[in-house]
Amino acid sequence: MSFSTGSEKRAAVQGMFAAISHRYDLLNRMLSLGMDRRWRKRAVSMFSEDVASVLDVAAGTGDLSAAWLAHRRDARVLATDFVPEMCRLGAGKLAGESRLSGYAAADALALPFADGSFDGAMAAFGVRNFADLGAGLTEMARVIRPGGEILILEFFPSRNALQDKLFRFYFHQILPRLGGWISGDREAYAYLPRSVGEFVSREAFEELCATIGLNTEQRIEFSGGIATAVLVKKTSFSTKH
């Protein structure tokens, strides 16, 4: 699966995640050996005490939103995803939670919210799929208040040669077969390792954030660097990226 334009990537990724939405949670648990829950729980604890209302971008089925609500009694969240099937599943998972402001189908590159609407924003394993990473981060920065924070939990390319070799074997040989067998869509799980390999480094990601006016406050690597959480703060803001 290769893309010549951002719009082509958007359409392909949207269709891919719609197709596997019914097995998405099960596959996350199995393919991460349950570690993804621990990563989310630790990541949301990085937010400052003055962050309460948060926008969850590319929220999928709502696991990060659930982790945030479990972490703080005063937490509030509005979840968005550009795959309607994911939104329906997430809304069902969080049904009855009064601190959920809504679950809306929305494109991360054109968020339907006013400037400064939230204390913070977050995304777990979603920004890698943005058709335009800079534009998506700019939108997330736009909708949070000055001094607000953005939390990104993501897979970045490995920096360790041995670890990279092990990852490549798992991602390229095991994951597509297992993910394809369970979900019925092998291509979706062949896309994952390619998207990680083509994604920016941690350092390049933080440099891009800085050009938007987002300064890195914390960076935590989980499970030997398999996943990384980066917390950035909006100290200034530029729509250019």
Is 226 part of any domain? yes
Q: Is residue 186 in a domain? A: no
Nearest to 213 by CA among 154, 147, 156, 152: 147
Q: How far apart are CA 85 and CA 83, in angstroms?
A: 5
Contact 119, 145 (CB under 8 A): yes
Q: Could you tell me if residue 164 is inside a domain?
A: no
Residue 145's CATH number = 3.40.50.150
Q: pLDDT tens, 103-133?
A: 999 999 999 999 999 999 999 999 999 999 9
* Alpha-carbon span 206 to 204, nearest angstrom: 5
- Using 50 as the pLDDT threshold, list the residues of the chain that sit under it: 1
CA distances from 17 to 161, 172, 189, 192 (A): 31, 19, 10, 11
Q: What's the domain count of the chain?
A: 1
Q: How far apart are CA 32 and CA 203, in angstroms?
A: 24
What pLDDT, on the 0 to 100 scale, is given for residue 180? 62
Q: Is residue 60 part of a domain?
A: yes
Whole domain around residue 216: which residue ranges?
6-156+202-234
Res 13: pLDDT: 75
Is 56 inside a domain boundary?
yes
Residue 144 lies in a domain: yes
Q: Looking at the domain assignment, is residue 12 inside a domain?
A: yes
β-pairing, 100-105 with 214-222?
A: unpaired
Query: If you average pLDDT over every residue of the chain, what do you get?
Result: 87
Strand-pair partners of 53: 76
Residue 81 is encoded by which pair of tokens?
A: 């995803």
Residue 146 in contact with residue 118, Cβ under 8 Å?
no
The Cα–Cα gap between 134 and 233 comes to 16
pLDDT digits (tens, 9 = 90+) for 3-19: 555 677 778 778 777 76
Query: Strands 144-154, 76-81: parallel, antiparallel or unpaired by DSSP?
Result: unpaired
Q: How far is CA 56 from CA 29, 64, 123, 140, 158, in A?
A: 20, 8, 6, 10, 26
Q: Is 206 inside a domain boundary?
A: yes
State pTM to two decimals: 0.87
